[in-house]
């Protein structure tokens, strides 16, 4: 039957559409990933304004992350960035199995890149769910936004704080 390949293609597109929709995570669950499991704050700042250079030490300035408030990536691209880093970049590839056949990055494996170019292993691996959650936090609270008192209290998990009083 000649129509079969087309039907299969339509089915594949429909199924991957569902998968993409499921990747919208839970921002509140993402806070713990941002603070603990991924330590995103260490490089991007707790409020997403970017990291401060580490003065001294053997990785002087190397793990400074850019501000997330001005990130231009959409959700899918941000998930790939957090999961995989970028070839030759300093971003930890957080996804379990990143850059392997089981979890290709940008359609590639470490072998395709040449091992030297693939980002180094991260301190911690994150599940796809944890990555979706932390990306939800970044998109909902940081990207293109200014910090608010309510979101500051939410992040620190407290009812009040002089740190948060400076925000509107």
Q: What residue ranges bind ligand HEC (CB under 6 A)?
A: 33, 38-40, 42-44, 63, 65-66, 68, 71-73, 78, 81-82, 86, 89-92, 94, 134, 138
Greatest extent of the chain over all pairs of C-alpha atoms, in Å: 70
46 vs 90 by CB, closer to ligand HEC: 90
44 vs 47 by CB, closer to ligand HEC: 44
Cα–Cα distance between 54 and 105 in angstroms, integer?
29
Q: Measured from the CB of residue 55, what is the shortest distance to ligand HEC in angstroms?
A: 16
Provide the H-helix boundaries in the chain. Answer: 4-22, 27-32, 40-44, 75-84, 110-113, 128-137, 149-156, 162-165
Q: Measured from the CB of residue 120, what is the shortest distance to ligand HEC in angstroms?
A: 10
Q: Measured from the CB of residue 28, what is the shortest distance to ligand HEC in angstroms?
A: 15
Cα–Cα distance between 84 and 90 in angstroms, integer?
11
81 vs 152 by CB, closer to ligand HEC: 81
Q: Give the CA count within 13 Å in the CB-facing half-sphere of 12.
A: 6
110 vs 134 by CB, closer to ligand HEC: 134
With contact defined as beta carbons under 8 Å apart, do 33 and 130 qualify?
A: yes
130 vs 164 by CB, closer to ligand HEC: 130
Q: Measured from the CB of residue 136, what is the shortest distance to ligand HEC in angstroms?
A: 10
With contact defined as beta carbons under 8 Å apart, do 107 and 83 qualify?
A: no
Q: Measured from the CB of residue 15, what is the shortest distance to ligand HEC in angstroms?
A: 26
Cα–Cα distance between 56 and 142 in angstroms, integer?
29
């Amino acid at each position: 039957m000649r129509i079969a390949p087309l039907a299969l293609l339509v089915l594949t597109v429909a199924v991957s559409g569902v998968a993409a929709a499921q990747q919208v995570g839970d921002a509140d669950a993402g806070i713990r990933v941002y603070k603990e499991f991924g330590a995103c704050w260490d490089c991007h700042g707790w409020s997403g304004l970017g990291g401060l250079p580490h003065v001294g030490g053997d990785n002087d300035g190397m793990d400074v992350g850019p501000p997330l408030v001005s990130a231009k990536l959409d959700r899918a691209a941000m998930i790939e960035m957090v999961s995989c880093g970028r070839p030759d970049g300093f971003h930890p590839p957080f996804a379990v199995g990143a850059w392997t056949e089981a979890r290709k990055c940008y359609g590639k494996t470490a072998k395709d890149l040449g091992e030297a170019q693939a980002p180094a292993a991260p301190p911690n691996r994150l599940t796809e769910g944890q990555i979706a959650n932390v990306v939800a936090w970044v998109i909902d609270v940081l990207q293109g936004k200014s910090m608010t008192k309510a979101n500051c209290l939410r992040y620190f998990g407290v009812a009040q704080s002089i740190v948060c009083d400076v925000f509107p």
